[in-house]
Structure 1
Amino acid sequence: MNVDGPAPVVVNAKSKHTATIIFFHGLGDQGNGWAQVFREDIKFDHVKTICPNAGVRAVTLNFGIPMPAWYDILGLTDNSPEDAAGIQRAAEYVHGLINAEIKAGIPSERIVLGGFSMGGALAIYSGLTFDKPLAAIVGLSSFLLQREKIPGTHTANLKTPVFLGHGTQDPLVPFDFGKRTHEAISKFNPNVQLKSYPMDHTSCAAELKDCRDFLANILK
């Protein structure tokens, strides 16, 4: 099963390309919506943004209905099993995207991984398990995958800046997931921050501004 679907949506840099953001959409979504966010709200002239599209697959959480998904979601409780093989395939795809940017001349320290919901969870897991240091990791309304494997033997991104944003009224991925993700990463990474917003499972102008400010400081 292919992890990726249609070709990624790319927002090219307007000036000399010196950094790249790779941002993954949530369950059932596509990359074009987030590409628009990076055209209008989180834009930097020297940064290229890549918004990949997930392939369509049956999702157990949604009664097996096929939809764009980076991996299968079996449940959203502490006791729910995870699609370990699917998560690993997705992470390998993400690592391939990063390595393609490195091959094109962008240092790993100038590459940001980010995403929303399951895409944010994928970005966090893939970033923390990548073998070269990244510029930053962003997880919006997301959670931590394979927590028993993090950080494990992965040491390249133990101090990489991490921005977590989450709605306090989120009914799908409760705010407690964000707090526990922050707590888990904080055990080995002092550079993780969690910001909360009075919203449900979505984003808002304040969150996007905070995310932009976070990235502006890193991708100077």
Structure 2
Amino acid sequence: MSTPGAVMPAARKASATVVLLHILGDTGHGRAEAFAGIRSSHIKYICPHTPVMPVTLNVNTALPSWFDIVGLSPDSHEDEPGIKQAAENVKALIDQEVKSGIPSNRTIWGGFSQGGTLYTVLTTEQSMAGITVLSRWPPLGASFPQGPVSGVNEDVSILRCHGDGDPSVPLMSGSLTFEKLKLLVNPATVTFKTYEGMTQSSCQQEMMDVRQFTDKLLPPID
């Protein structure tokens, strides 16, 4: 189970929360460092750690990982129980934030690569302000919703970002995810941005786009 990890408190009374999930092999501290320069003073940022486990794709090397990864091709076997358990862990973090006084619709979930939160958001009953999906591939293709989702997040705002030089998760995977999302939620609420030359990493323009997306959906409450 994930732990709260790196928590960046709001500089003043928190009125919103952003949960950021890290890439395979990283920790919450890595995500916290990446977002340190684009924080907003009224937002609390939570960057959870994940357990260390053997990862098939990495020759069973034990790494911080949200779930096992067998391969990155569309037809690769997926660790469905692991993905679903990771989703439940993230949902539990949001439940804690709601109990502390932050409504779920004042929350954005964000993730980088393996830490993408697509499955979590589109299968939860918690109303989200939005999600940021960075360098992610489509999760659970066989069991993921195959048609429009109904409920609290059918109009959720989604920012999908990907580098055109990513050797691990090619841009085509990002495009497939974008097309899939447009079938699942209101297409008008989904934005896809690409970044020339960016690999499996982030760039300044991507971070500024994430900041703009976040500030638009989670403005200060006076």
Q: TM-score band (shorter)?
A: over 0.9
SS at match of 2:180: helix
Instruction: Give the partner amino acid of 2:144.
Output: K
The 1-side partners of 2:30 and 2:74 are apart by 30
Structure 2 residue 46 is the aligned partner of structure 1 residue 50: yes
Of 117, 140, 150, the match for 2:145: 150
The alpha carbon displacement at 1:151 in A equals: 6.2
The alpha carbon displacement at 1:22 in A equals: 0.4
Of 2, 5, 8, the match for 1:8: 5
Deviations, residues 70-97 of structure 1 (Å, cap 9, x unaligned)? 0000111111011011111111101100
Q: Which blocks of at least 5 consecutive residues in structure 1 are unaligned?
A: none
Structure 2 residue 31 is the aligned partner of structure 1 residue 34: yes
The alpha carbon displacement at 1:146 in A equals: 1.5
Of 63, 83, 88, the match for 1:87: 83
Counterpart in the other structure of 2:199: 200
Deviations, residues 126-169 of structure 1 (Å, cap 9, x unaligned)? 11111021010111111221233226766321110000110001
Counterpart in the other structure of 1:139: 133
The 2-side partners of 1:93 and 1:174 are apart by 28
Aligned residues between the structures: 214
The 2-side partners of 1:39 and 1:14 are apart by 12
The 2-side partners of 1:192 and 1:172 are apart by 23
Of 5, 14, 19, the match for 1:17: 14
Alignment RMSD, CA only?
1.4
Counterpart in the other structure of 2:93: 97
If the length of structure 1 is used for normalisation, what is the TM-score? 0.93
CA distance 1:151–1:50, change in 2 (3 Å): farther
Counterpart in the other structure of 1:73: 69
The 2-side partners of 1:151 and 1:78 are apart by 15
Q: Is the 2:145–2:184 Cα contact (8 Å) retained in structure 1? A: no
Counterpart in the other structure of 2:159: 163
Identity %: 39
The alpha carbon displacement at 1:172 in A equals: 0.0
Q: Is the 2:31–2:47 Cα contact (8 Å) retained in structure 1? A: yes
SS at match of 1:80: coil
SS at match of 1:86: helix
SS at match of 2:45: strand
The 2-side partners of 1:56 and 1:36 are apart by 20
Counterpart in the other structure of 2:169: 173
SS at match of 1:178: helix
Q: Which blocks of at least 5 consecutive residues in structure 2 are unaligned?
A: none
The 2-side partners of 1:171 and 1:188 are apart by 27
